[in-house]
């Protein structure tokens, strides 16, 4: 699960170690945002971190100025506090077992022992987690890890941009619903769910390092590093039980996002699209998909962060 969760919440290993220090000193600094243009429209593509920390802000002026000049904010899903609150009852139905059923009776003894070992090492009582379905627990565990490291969804870029759009009375459009995103995970087979959970339980330490690397690379605007982290995680997605799920959650959604981006590029306006950072990079990412369709897509240069 961590490999998929890392992609869902983000995602490269710093390969710049192979580059001479003088070479990367010569490169103009970038932000993790691209600009796509058509004869009539400009589309800014910001790769977001769904979880953030205080030092993420203030954002570089290149990002905020692009946002301010855009007529529309397009997000993956509306994760504003009010919308999330409305969805909680439906989300709980997806995540939890009905009365009389629990996690222990739905996973193998081996996976359950892994959960017990994980809880013992973390000083947690496994009891409160037994009502969660395997896919839900596999999502919750990395979130708990991130929160221990000081990351929070309320400081994520998605929530920040939605608040800023509301304050500016800017039009907001969502590519999909948050509930639809969760349903893609909830629709996994029992075997797929257990495979995700087993991976999540086995790689807690790797998850910690992964988020630190992604966060640092994003702040540098280092697309190469994030892409390599993503590809490194992809290589470990060898379990045949998770392959089809991965393609549906990542690859197919990238195609759907590219189709939406193409539609916005046919309009006569400037649009700001913000989606998870991992959706932008890689051979099947949005940047490559749009370039293949003939659009000019370039990474935006940094303009500097204002004083905190």
What does the pLDDT look like over 163-197, one tens digit per residue? 999 999 999 999 998 888 889 889 999 999 998 89
Within-domain flag for 307:
no
Q: What is the largest CA-CA distance in the chain?
A: 64
Domain housing 195? 2-11+30-301
On whether residue 226 sits in a domain, the answer given is yes
Q: Quick check: is 239 in a domain?
A: yes
3-state helix, strand, coil in the chain (%, to 5): 60, 15, 30
Structure tokens at 78: 């509306």
d(CA 101, CA 97): 6
pLDDT at position 238, please? Answer: 61
* pLDDT 10s digits, 241-262: 777 777 778 888 999 999 999 9
pLDDT category of residue 114 using cuts at 50, 70 and 90: very high
> Is the predicted pLDDT of residue 14 greater than 70, yes or no?
no
Residue 290 inside a domain? The answer is yes
Question: Is 286 part of any domain?
Answer: yes
pLDDT of residue 275 exceeding 90: yes
Predicted pLDDT of residue 237: 59
Q: Which of residues 13 and 6 earns the better pLDDT score? A: 6
> What integer pLDDT is reported at residue 50 of this predicted model?
92
- How far is residue 304's CA from residue 270's CA, in Å, rounded to a whole number? 22
19 found inside a domain: no
Burial tier of 114 (Cβ tally within 10 Å: 0-12, 13-18, 19+): middle
Q: Is residue 21 situated within a structural domain?
A: no
Tell whether 122 is covered by a domain. Answer: yes
Q: Number of folded domains in the chain?
A: 1
């Amino acid at each position: 699960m961590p490999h998929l969760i890392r992609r869902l919440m983000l995602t490269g290993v710093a390969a710049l170690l192979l580059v001479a220090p003088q070479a990367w000193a010569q490169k103009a600094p970038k932000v993790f945002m691209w600009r796509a243009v058509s004869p009539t429209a400009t589309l800014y593509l910001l790769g977001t971190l769904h979880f953030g920390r205080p030092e993420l802000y203030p954002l570089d002026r290149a990002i905020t100025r692009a946002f301010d000049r855009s007529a529309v904010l397009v997000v993956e899903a509306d994760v504003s506090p009010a919308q999330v609150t409305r969805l909680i009852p439906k989300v709980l139905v997806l995540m939890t077992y009905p009365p009389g059923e629990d996690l222990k009776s739905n996973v193998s003894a081996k996976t359950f022992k892994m959960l017990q070992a994980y809880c013992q090492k973390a000083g947690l009582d496994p009891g409160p987690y037994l009502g969660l379905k395997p896919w839900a627990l596999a999502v919750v565990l990395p979130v708990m890890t991130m929160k221990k490291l000081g990351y929070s969804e309320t400081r994520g870029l998605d929530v920040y941009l939605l608040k800023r759009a509301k304050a500016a009375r800017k039009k907001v459009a969502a590519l999909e619903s948050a509930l639809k995103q969760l349903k893609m995970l909830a629709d996994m087979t029992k075997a797929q769910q257990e495979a995700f959970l087993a991976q999540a339980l086995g790689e807690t330490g790797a998850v910690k390092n992964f988020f630190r690397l992604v966060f640092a690379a994003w702040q540098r605007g280092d697309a190469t590093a994030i892409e390599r982290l993503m590809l490194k995680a992809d290589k470990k997605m060898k379990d045949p039980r998770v392959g089809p799920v991965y393609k549906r959650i990542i690859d197919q959604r990238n195609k759907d996002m590219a189709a939406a981006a193409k539609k916005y590029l046919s309009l006569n306006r400037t649009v700001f699209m913000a989606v998870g950072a991992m959706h932008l990079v890689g051979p099947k990412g949005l940047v490559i998909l749009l370039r293949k369709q003939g659009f000019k897509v370039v990474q935006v240069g940094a303009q500097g962060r204002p004083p905190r």
